[in-house]
Amino acid sequence: MQKSNSATDYRNELESRGTLPEGFSTGFTGLSFSPAELGADQKMEMNLSLLLLDESTSSFAGTFTKNLFPGAPVLLCRKRLENDSFRGIIINNKIANVCIETGVDDSEKIINTAAEEIGCGPDQLMSSSTGVIGWRLPVSDMIKAVPEAVKAAKDDNHRNAVTLSERIMTTDSFPKLRSRTLAGGRITAVAKGAGMIEPNMATMLCFIMTDLDISREALREMLPGVVAETFNRISVDSDQSTSDMVIAASTNKIACPDIKEFRDALYDVCSELAEDIVRNGEGTSHVIRVCVDGAASVEDACAIGKALVNSPLVKTAVAGNDPNVGRFASSIGDYCGNNGINLPAEKMEMKLGGEIIFSGGVFRMTPDKELRLVAYLKDCGTIPEHKGWPVHEKTVNIDINIGMGNSQSIILGSDLTHEYVRENADYRT
Amino acid sequence: MQKSNSATDYRNELESRGTLPEGFSTGFTGLSFSPAELGADQKMEMNLSLLLLDESTSSFAGTFTKNLFPGAPVLLCRKRLENDSFRGIIINNKIANVCIETGVDDSEKIINTAAEEIGCGPDQLMSSSTGVIGWRLPVSDMIKAVPEAVKAAKDDNHRNAVTLSERIMTTDSFPKLRSRTLAGGRITAVAKGAGMIEPNMATMLCFIMTDLDISREALREMLPGVVAETFNRISVDSDQSTSDMVIAASTNKIACPDIKEFRDALYDVCSELAEDIVRNGEGTSHVIRVCVDGAASVEDACAIGKALVNSPLVKTAVAGNDPNVGRFASSIGDYCGNNGINLPAEKMEMKLGGEIIFSGGVFRMTPDKELRLVAYLKDCGTIPEHKGWPVHEKTVNIDINIGMGNSQSIILGSDLTHEYVRENADYRT
């Protein structure tokens, strides 16, 4: 991850990454509204963003949350994936449009207005919403605002994705944008998300744009695997949202030299965005990087890594720079003991910051090691302030070999700080 | 749950509950030690407690953690359960004795010394340890202290379990003791535990004493079921410890009129202790009581209830008195969607504080209801201070009917507050 020393540095860095691939444009507007569930005296501001392709494409793909109560946009996008043709996606923050009587209708009304303004079929457009679950979208206010977003996208001369990365934010503390170039073409992707994050299919919201020529079939075969290896291996707070989606589309304008190279570039972009999301997690001070090796399967390795990074006692110990290694081992023993993984304790080796803390069935701590590990944890964390850019690129490295096989997985998680509680005890006010 | 207005009130209440059943006594001592893992300049205080039966009994039973890295006392107690005869258990706080090279040997040395002083076989004694995971017991210091605890138990004239309930505490903010009388006999039980709590077999530590005549077989058949319906249905922080155990023993001195009545009394004692543990959870301000009904199985009902009370976003919303009902539904959708429970959203009904917040597949919120629910949550919580007694007996009631069957379960959980983070970010210092 790149290190920036100021919001200006970081913004410059994003600008250099953010060039839109050929054939994409973005447009934005804002609106003021009162959530029906709170009453007319409560005012909020919503961003409306449009990601538009100059021409329709059949090369598009998507993955979505497995949450059983998905938002209306997820229901709608899943259906749109069956269509032959995609032209763009309209995105709002503040309200997620989940389990509302009129939810799908509301999203369709907004899409219909946008389609009319763009001059395309409503079936060619998707929508995406994040924010409070359980509130209704301010549909009429949004419909009034749509034409301005469409006009802005049509007039887009900037052709840079930085504004998109900023306008889709909710509790995010900094925008997340990554890109790779390949043979004159590029993959540019933005993501949002900071809380309610343990994706298990797709992340929060991620929009991947490319001009590299890739078929619909290849993209659809590739995307779930890349998502499984990147966004599905992070956790901020073990909650999978109702609205998670990754949408990818290509304008196919630039010849793609090699499908393997394309996949590698896509993996890099998604992997970096996944780390950005954890680093920007609500209240995150330490990013925890758990490498589980020697597992019987990748699934086991992922599950054990997630059990560790999701343990509140591990998360708070790391937040407090406390190498309370007993909690690390206990969280693994808890998961394995309750899920039929018969891990023999004497085969497990665990390292923190490269130092062995557990091997041969027993803990390996000494007063000197304790002091070194406290210093290591202190060095890997910062008091999280919403500076608008990632303030460090360090990770707390926990390496575990469980001696049961040859499968491996790397899971990223975050610590649990007062700032997380502060943000989430009063999220909506 | 009884309401006390002061530590004195609560202590008086405990005294009235705490009479030891016939044939039990308790003895205590303390010791000062330096954990080997921290070095000689760090001093800590440990309590050593002995629960002793006047004569050995064959009527004893136990259930233990499913954590794959259990403490040495758990390994040792599991073996002792196979024996015919039980005389008592020696208990320490501060260090849990988990995954230490000499762990079982250490526990056995302490037991051997106690057996010699008591005049019984070492096979008739168990041991129980809680505290930091990964540290070694100060064996020689403990061996020196054992005779005093044995002498105190032999001299015990108080015959009350209140001191036992106090001396086994670690981060507990108040002692936990419950009892029932039946036909001139009684069941008296004490428990400890405040963090690393999502028992799935037994809780932290719980010692159940009775003088009612019950056979070894009946007790062993009954205990797992009662534990499954009480301690296994609570969660403070979703972490199951390495040291959880419930040990029950009877002196068989009083005729038991009815096995069903005995089970009911045992259930009541365990159920009240389970609620005490959640109410005393680290940083707990609100106790959340989720009743899941209409499930296809009790297992599903338990799992859905636990998914809700373990969601950090639900826990922080409740801590902040924020009826962010979208998070409640999302946590259930997350669990069901990822665990093959095909709950139809339109069949689910969810209530908070008796008010419908979700039905027919959609949220049912209005500005008025929002205000009422904020007031309800405020009324159900308190700023947790370590007052030494439970400061209220209220619960935040969430009632869910998922319309898939006839099974039901009640799960108790706690909110997630700054105090939880404060206690756990710096537990060992």
Q: What is the pLDDT of residue B312?
A: 87
User: Are B238 and A311 within 8 A, CB to CB?
Assistant: yes
The CA distance from B232 to B223, in Å, is 12
Residues B109 and B72 sit within 8 Å (Cβ to Cβ): no
- Domain closes at, from B248, B279, B310: B279
In a domain, B31, yes or no: yes
Query: Do A362 and A243 belong to one domain?
Result: no
Q: What is the pLDDT of residue A203?
A: 46
Is residue A428 over pLDDT 70? no
**Which chain A residues are within 8 Å of B134, Cβ to Cβ?**
324-326, 329, 358, 363, 365
Minimum mean pLDDT range among A33-42, A252-261, A384-393, B356-365 = A384-393
Most A CBs within 10 Å, among B95, B313, B429, to test the A interface: B313
**Which chain B residues are within 8 Å of A424, Cβ to Cβ?**
312-313, 316-317, 320
Bridge partners (DSSP) of residue A127 are: A90
CATH code assigned at A291: 3.10.20.340
Minimum mean pLDDT range among A128-137, A414-423, B140-149 = A414-423
Query: Do B292 and B246 belong to one domain?
Result: no
In a domain, B383, yes or no: yes
The residues of A annotated as belonging to the active site are 203
Residues B77 and B206 sit within 8 Å (Cβ to Cβ): no
pLDDT category at A222 given cuts 50, 70, 90 is: very high
User: Are A320 and B68 within 8 A, CB to CB?
Assistant: no
Looking at the complex, report in whole angstroms how far the Cα of residue A393 sits from the nearest Cα belonging to chain B.
Answer: 22
Q: What is the pLDDT of residue B259?
A: 95
User: Are A68 and B311 within 8 A, CB to CB?
Assistant: no
Query: Do B363 and B244 belong to one domain?
Result: no
Residues B266 and B222 sit within 8 Å (Cβ to Cβ): yes
The CA distance from A349 to A401, in Å, is 5
Residues B251 and B429 sit within 8 Å (Cβ to Cβ): no
In a domain, A55, yes or no: yes
The CA distance from B429 to B420, in Å, is 15
Both tokens of residue B254? Answer: 């009083």
Residues A126 and A77 sit within 8 Å (Cβ to Cβ): yes
Which among A68, A133, A134 has CB closest to B345? A68
Place of tokens 């108040």: B174
Minimum mean pLDDT range among A392-406, B87-101, B197-211, B328-342 = B197-211
C-alpha A250: how far from its chain's center? 20
Q: Domain span at residue A109?
A: 7-279
Query: Do B259 and B300 belong to one domain?
Result: no
Residue A385: φ, ψ to 5°: -120, 150
The CA distance from A314 to B189, in Å, is 31
Show Cβ contacts of residue B290 under 8 Å, excluding neighbours closer than 6 positions.
Answer: B305, B308, B309, B398, B399, B400, B410, B411, B412, B413
Most B CBs within 10 Å, among A37, A68, A418, to test the B interface: A68
3-state secondary structure of A81: coil
Both tokens of residue A321? Answer: 């720079």
Bridge partners (DSSP) of residue B319 are: none
Q: Determine how β-strand B245-254 pairs with β-strand B205-212.
A: parallel
C-alpha B19: how far from its chain's center? 20
- H, E, C per residue of chain B: CCCCCCHHHHHHHHHHHCECCCCEEEEEEEEEECCCCCCCCCCEEEEEEEEEEEEEECCEEEEECCCCCCEHHHHHHHHHCCCCCEEEEEEECCECCECCCCHHHHHHHHHHHHHHHHCCCHHHEEEEECCECCCCCCHHHHHHHHHHHHHHHHCCCCCECHHHHHHCCCCCCCCEEEEEEECCEEEEEEEECCCCECCCCCCCEEEEEEEECCCHHHHHHHHHHHHHHCHHHEECCCCECCCCEEEEEEEEEECCCCHHHHHHHHHHHHHHHHHHHHHCCCCCCCEEEEEEEEECCHHHHHHHHHHHHHCHHHHHHHHCCCCCHHHHHHHHHHHHHHCCCCCCHHHCEEEECCEEEEECCEECCCHHHHHHHHHHHHHHCCCCCCCCCCCCCCCEEEEEECCCCCEEEEEEEECCCHHHHHHHHCCCC
Put simply, the chain B residues between 356 and 415 with a CB less than 8 A from any chain A CB are 358, 361-363, 365-367, 370
**Which chain A residues are within 8 Å of B237, Cβ to Cβ?**
312-313
CATH code assigned at B150: 3.60.70.12
The CA distance from A75 to A80, in Å, is 9
**Which chain A residues are within 8 Å of B428, Cβ to Cβ?**
322, 324
Q: Which residue of B has its CA nearest to A326?
A: B133
Which is catalytic among the residues B203, B210, B230, B242?
B203
Residues A400 and A304 sit within 8 Å (Cβ to Cβ): yes
Query: Do A123 and A165 belong to one domain?
Result: yes
Instruction: Report yes or no: A304 at the B interface, CB cutoff 8 Å.
Output: no
**Which chain A residues are within 8 Å of B69, Cβ to Cβ?**
329-330, 332-333, 337, 345
pLDDT category at A3 given cuts 50, 70, 90 is: low
Query: Do B303 and B159 belong to one domain?
Result: no
**Which chain B residues are within 8 Å of A134, Cβ to Cβ?**
324-326, 329, 358, 363, 365
The CA distance from A333 to B67, in Å, is 5
Show Cβ contacts of residue A249 under 8 Å, excluding neighbours closer than 6 positions.
Answer: A53, A57, A59, A60, A61, A86, A208, A209, A210
**In the sheet that A362-363 helps form, which strands lie side by side, from edge to edge?**
A234-235, A407-414, A287-295, A396-401, A349-352, A355-359, A362-363
Q: To the nearest whole number, what is the mean pLDDT of chain A?
A: 89
- Domain closes at, from B226, B255, B279: B279
- Could you report the per-residue pLDDT of B400-427, keeping only the tens digit for each? 999 999 999 999 999 988 888 887 776 5
DSSP secondary structure, A378-411, as one string: HHH-------SS------EEEEEE-SS-SEEEEE
pLDDT category at B16 given cuts 50, 70, 90 is: very high
> Residues B123-145: what's their mean pLDDT?
93
Q: How far is CA A203 from CA A92, A232, A243, B51, in A?
A: 16, 7, 9, 53
Which among B242, B322, B422 has CB closest to A330? B242
Specify the DSSP element, H or E, that contains A32.
strand A24-33
Of B429 and A62, the structure prediction assigns the larger pLDDT to A62
Query: Do B243 and B291 belong to one domain?
Result: no
Number of Cβ within 10 Å of residue B218's Cβ equals: 17
Q: What is the pLDDT of residue B83?
A: 95
Most A CBs within 10 Å, among B42, B69, B136, to test the A interface: B69
In a domain, B185, yes or no: yes
Q: What is the pLDDT of residue A385?
A: 63
> Residues B124-136: what's their mean pLDDT?
91
Instruction: Report yes or no: A38 at the B interface, CB cutoff 8 Å.
Output: yes
User: Are A416 and B418 within 8 A, CB to CB?
Assistant: no
In a domain, A2, yes or no: no
> Residues B116-121: what's their mean pLDDT?
97
- Could you report the per-residue pLDDT of A96-111, keeping only the tens digit for each? 898 888 999 999 999 9
**CA-wise closest residue to A87 among A108, A60, A69:** A60
The CA distance from A2 to B383, in Å, is 42
Query: Do A324 and A348 belong to one domain?
Result: yes
Q: How far is CA B76 from CA B87, B122, B245, B253, B331, in A?
A: 15, 11, 12, 28, 39
DSSP secondary structure, A176-210, as one string: EEEEEEETTEEEEEEEE-SSSB--SSS-SEEEEEE
The CA distance from B212 to B208, in Å, is 12
**CA-wise closest residue to B283 among B418, B426, B429, B132:** B418
Specify the DSSP element, H or E, that contains A291.
strand A287-295
Is residue B169 over pLDDT 80? yes
Which among A242, A310, A425 has CB closest to B320? A425
- Side chain identity at residue B379, one-letter code: D
Place of tokens 């793609």: A256
Q: Which residue of A has its CA nearest to B236?
A: A312
> Residues B58-67: what's their mean pLDDT?
89
Residues B90 and B118 sit within 8 Å (Cβ to Cβ): no
Put simply, the chain B residues between 102 and 141 with a CB less than 8 A from any chain A CB are 103, 132-135
Residues B239 and B199 sit within 8 Å (Cβ to Cβ): no
- Side chain identity at residue B349, one-letter code: E
Looking at the complex, report in whole angstroms how far the Cα of residue B375 sits from the nearest Cα belonging to chain A.
Answer: 15
User: Are A333 and B239 within 8 A, CB to CB?
Assistant: no
Show Cβ contacts of residue B388 under 8 Å, excluding neighbours closer than 6 positions.
Answer: B7, B10, B173, B174
How many interface pairs between A and B have CB atoms less than 8 angstroms apart? 249
Both tokens of residue A371? Answer: 């002091």
User: Are A332 and B242 within 8 A, CB to CB?
Assistant: no
Query: Do B229 and B251 belong to one domain?
Result: yes
User: Are A421 and B316 within 8 A, CB to CB?
Assistant: yes
Number of compact structural domains in chain A: 2
Instruction: Report yes or no: B38 at the A interface, CB cutoff 8 Å.
Output: yes
For A55-67, b/e burial (b = at least 16 CB within 10 A) is ebbebbbbbbbbb
- Could you report the per-residue pLDDT of B236-287, keeping only the tens digit for each? 776 767 777 888 999 999 999 999 999 999 999 999 988 888 888 878 889 9
pLDDT category at A384 given cuts 50, 70, 90 is: low
User: Are A100 and B69 within 8 A, CB to CB?
Assistant: no
Q: Which residue of B has its CA nearest to A64?
A: B337
Q: What is the pLDDT of residue A194?
A: 72
**CA-wise closest residue to B330 among A71, A281, A309:** A71
Query: Do B331 and B259 belong to one domain?
Result: no
The CA distance from B344 to B333, in Å, is 10
Query: Do B313 and B259 belong to one domain?
Result: no
- Largest Cα–Cα separation, chain B: 70
**Which chain A residues are within 8 Å of B422, Cβ to Cβ?**
418
The CA distance from A235 to B404, in Å, is 30
- Domain closes at, from A279, A304, A339: A279
The CA distance from A217 to A61, in Å, is 9
User: Are B322 and A428 within 8 A, CB to CB?
Assistant: yes
pLDDT category at B177 given cuts 50, 70, 90 is: very high
DSSP secondary structure, A248-271, as one string: EEEEEEE--S-HHHHHHHHHHHHH
Instruction: Report yes or no: B345 at the A interface, CB cutoff 8 Å.
Output: yes
In a domain, B1, yes or no: no
ipTM of the predicted structure?
A: 0.78
Show Cβ contacts of residue B361 under 8 Å, excluding neighbours closer than 6 positions.
Answer: A99, A101, B344, B345, B346, B348
The CA distance from B349 to B401, in Å, is 5
Q: What is the pLDDT of residue A201?
A: 37
Most A CBs within 10 Å, among B100, B424, B426, B428, to test the A interface: B424
**Which chain A residues are within 8 Å of B333, Cβ to Cβ?**
67-70, 242
**Which chain A residues are within 8 Å of B316, Cβ to Cβ?**
420-421, 424-425, 427
User: Are B132 and A316 within 8 A, CB to CB?
Assistant: no
pLDDT category at B27 given cuts 50, 70, 90 is: very high
Query: Do A129 and A266 belong to one domain?
Result: yes
3-state secondary structure of A59: coil
Task: Check the CA dihedral A67-A72-A75-A78 and report its sign.
Answer: negative
Which among A39, A358, A421 has CB closest to B99? A358
Q: What is the pLDDT of residue B3?
A: 57
Which among B322, B331, B345 has CB closest to A99? B345
In a domain, B2, yes or no: no
**CA-wise closest residue to A86 among A221, A219, A274:** A219
Instruction: Report yes or no: A195 at the B interface, CB cutoff 8 Å.
Output: yes
- Could you report the per-residue pLDDT of A322-373, keeping only the tens digit for each? 998 888 988 898 889 888 899 988 899 999 999 999 999 888 989 999 999 9
Is residue B164 over pLDDT 70? yes
**Which chain B residues are within 8 Å of A65, Cβ to Cβ?**
337
In a domain, A1, yes or no: no
Residues B125 and B162 sit within 8 Å (Cβ to Cβ): no
Place of tokens 């015990």: B156
Place of tokens 């995406």: A128
Place of tokens 């009632």: B399
Is residue B100 over pLDDT 80? yes
